[in-house]
Structure 1
Amino acid sequence: MRVLIAPDKFAGTLTAVEAAEAIAEGWRRRAPDDELVLVPMADGGPGFCDVLHASLGGDLLAVTVSGPYGEPVPATVLVADGTAYVESAQACGLHLTPKEERDPERATTRGVGEMVLAAVDAGAKTVVVGLGGSGTNDGGAGMLSALGAVAEPGGAMDRGPRGLPDLTAVDLAPARERLAGVRLVAATDVDNPLLGLIGATSVFGPQKGVTEDRKQAVDAMLEGFAALADKKLALAKGAGAAGGLGYALLLVGATREPGIALVADAVGLPDKARAADLVITGEGAFDFSSRSGKVPSGVAAVAAEALQPCIALAGQVLIGSREMRTVGIESAYSMVELVGEEASYADPAGSLAALAERAARTWSR
């Protein structure tokens, strides 16, 4: 039988490419005659460019940009067939700063703007910015500043959300002119607005270090910024992605596309699913957030369209079978349940391979 293996990264332990290889290794132990097709996936967050480069080829442009606290960080921009792919987490990702050193009220997205400019300078006519895994919550103000937006007073947009209350005016025209003739796409894994109870700060702020007693104040900082830039766009789906980077991209004319759908089309996942007998996806934690915009739900939707069964392999499975099936997942298997939490973290690739071998007992012909 033909098995399509299309997992996301297992955050903190395995890249999507490594996860796909581990699943394939374990599956072959049980079913060596099965034909395995590996298609690592991403939804716009960390691994976005690696996954696309593995499938599309193209050139990797090495750049050095500003990190979340102004320090230089290395990054790469993928350019393939006139389209550039920018992984925002490379410039402002949560993984760039140790947990004890995070200060989300000071972190900036300036480096993302610098990556976009590098893509434009390389001649790209379309720039796709993957959003996800950010450690920032500045409404994309830093990115806009790097693109040429003018703030009064100067520099207020480069200091994270803490600098936003000082703003008296924002001129976006220079940034829009700098991007004239370029099609900009925001690839998001969430559809939250910028502000309010389901906005960037309230929902995602805590994982970046925004404390409960500061959420309302930080949200108010973004609200003041939106009042100067465009309050209506703050309500748009995806505006709250990556701490408001989605909002900033919309301000300069970007269209929004679900990251998983964009990647699926780019790597030809629908055609591969139609040619398969079984589709396997996976991620570190298969939970309620997996149901919308994430890789497992996106891969399961493609499998359903192709009329093929889909199963999930995960570090942990935190939802029941009923919720699973609403996503389109027939069964989900947990590394922690099979080998224990300690072994899962000590040897993630080996544990995932063992889990795949276990799943093959049931699913391989």
Structure 2
Amino acid sequence: MRILIAPDKFAGTMTAAEAADAIADGWRRARPEDETDALPLADGGPGFIDVLEAAIPTAARRTVNACDPLGRPVEADYLRDGDTAYIESAATCGLHLLNPHERDPRRATTYGLGLVIAAAIENGARRIVVGLGGSATNDAGAGMLTALGYTCRDRAGDALPYGGAALASCDSIDGQPRTRGVEFIAATDVDSPLLGPHGATRMFGPQKGAEESDLPFLESALANFAEIAERDLGPGGAAAWPGAGAAGGLGMALFILGGKRASGAKLTCEAVGLDAAVAASDLVITGEGSFDAQSLRGKLAAEVATGAAAHGKPCLVLAGRSDVDSHPDLAGVHSVTALVGGVEAAMKAPVEGLRALAESVARTWNYTRE
């Protein structure tokens, strides 16, 4: 059999390439006669420009000075191909840039992302594709907008401090963005709106360090900022658009700049030629660190599964952990935690655990049965 292995990253433990290698190694241990093809993928979060760089031979990396979610200096890369710049928001806003005790969406800012965008524009980019995902922020892109020329003010007319908590005091937004009429694309890993049970705060705030008691305040702060932003900048209703809640509300900020949404998963899958690779395979394996309800809202694993189903090819998910037992487009869902007996054991040796899971699945996989 020819096995296509096309996973996303396993956040906090493995890159997509490392996960693909672990799955391939485990599969070959059980079925050395099978041919394995590795195709690491991304959906807008960490690894976004790595995948695109490998797929676009004419693209080149550029490095700029920026800052992390707490304002500390950091170097960030973006990818330039012709007049298009591909930027990974996680390079400056990523949760992986903070130690666990530093994670606090009340303080975290997207200002660094704005610095990278500004540098790309000044370097001649006319189209900016921003991969959204893996962020530590919940500031609705206010920091990014500030770096690009806007000023968010309180009732006294003073500029707001950075972070999601400060949005509660926002009373007006003024200024002229230094965007030179560029086209913005928000490449999102989710289709969440800004507010509500599936929005930026309620769905993603806890994983960014927000306490349960913080959520109502942060939600209210986002709602206030959205009202002011739509009043002073437009377009009206942007907070409810699919993808507005991506990366702590960065989606909405890009919509304010005139941006349009695109699926980060579809964008990268098209760039690497996933469709042709699926067509040439007998079995498709994808995966990510946590396969759950969020995974079915535009993330990579769901996109791969849909592509496999379109070609009538079975698709398996191998995940670190999973809250989803089945899906119409999947032939099976398997997790490292179920194999090794829990999250703690899985985190101790993630590569070895994923390799062992792939080997176990390969030994029991039967095309006619699944």
Normalized against structure 2, the TM-score is what?
0.90
d(CA) in 2 for partners of 1:155, 1:360: 58
Determine helix, strand or coil for the equivalent of 1:325.
coil
CA-based RMSD of the aligned residues comes to 2.0
How many residue pairs match? The answer is 357
d(CA) in 1 for partners of 2:22, 2:148: 41
Q: Alpha-carbon deviation of 1:343?
A: 4.7
* Alignment-mate amino acid for residue 186 of structure 1: A
Contact residue 195 and residue 223 of structure 2 kept, 8 A: yes
* Alignment-mate amino acid for residue 16 of structure 2: A
d(CA) in 2 for partners of 1:318, 1:103: 26
Residue deviations 1:76-110, cap 9 Å, x none?
10123432211111111122222222232121100
d(CA) in 2 for partners of 1:205, 1:39: 31
Q: Alpha-carbon deviation of 1:154?
A: 4.9
Q: Alpha-carbon deviation of 1:30?
A: 2.6
Which residue of 2 is the match for residue 111 of structure 1?
112
Q: Alpha-carbon deviation of 1:32?
A: 2.7
Which residue of 2 is the match for residue 130 of structure 1?
131
Q: Alpha-carbon deviation of 1:37?
A: 1.7
Structure 1 alignment gaps of length 5 or more: none
Which residue of 2 is the match for residue 98 of structure 1?
99
Which residue of 2 is the match for residue 360 of structure 1?
362
2:350 alignment partner, one of 344, 348, 351 = 348
More helix by share: 1
Query: Percent identity between the aligned chains?
Result: 50
* Alignment-mate amino acid for residue 69 of structure 2: P
Which residue of 2 is the match for residue 35 of structure 1?
35
Structure 1 stretches of 4+ moved >6 Å? none
Question: Structure 1 pair 198/80, CA: closer, same or farther in 2 (3 Å)?
Answer: same
Contact residue 286 and residue 316 of structure 1 kept, 8 A: yes
Which residue of 2 is the match for residue 65 of structure 1?
66
Which residue of 1 is the match for residue 247 of structure 2?
242
Contact residue 129 and residue 187 of structure 1 kept, 8 A: yes
Contact residue 68 and residue 111 of structure 1 kept, 8 A: yes
Q: Alpha-carbon deviation of 1:195?
A: 2.2
Determine helix, strand or coil for the equivalent of 1:73.
strand
Contact residue 121 and residue 180 of structure 2 kept, 8 A: no
1:13 partnered with 2:13: yes
Residue deviations 1:11-45, cap 9 Å, x none?
11111010011111122223333222211111111
Q: What are the equivalent positions in structure 2 for 1:140-155 lying under 5 Å apart?
A: 140-152=141-153, 153-155=157-159
* Alignment-mate amino acid for residue 347 of structure 1: A
Contact residue 85 and residue 128 of structure 1 kept, 8 A: yes
1:330 partnered with 2:335: no
Which residue of 2 is the match for residue 191 of structure 1?
191
1:282 alignment partner, one of 287, 305, 313 = 287
Which residue of 1 is the match for residue 170 of structure 2?
167
Question: Structure 1 pair 30/113, CA: closer, same or farther in 2 (3 Å)?
Answer: same
* Alignment-mate amino acid for residue 330 of structure 2: I
Which residue of 2 is the match for residue 216 of structure 1?
216
Which residue of 2 is the match for residue 312 of structure 1?
317
Structure 2 alignment gaps of length 5 or more: 231-235
* Alignment-mate amino acid for residue 317 of structure 2: A
Which residue of 2 is the match for residue 298 of structure 1?
303
Determine helix, strand or coil for the equivalent of 2:288.
strand
Contact residue 108 and residue 142 of structure 1 kept, 8 A: yes
* Alignment-mate amino acid for residue 353 of structure 2: S
Contact residue 17 and residue 51 of structure 1 kept, 8 A: no
* Alignment-mate amino acid for residue 19 of structure 1: A
1:268 partnered with 2:273: yes
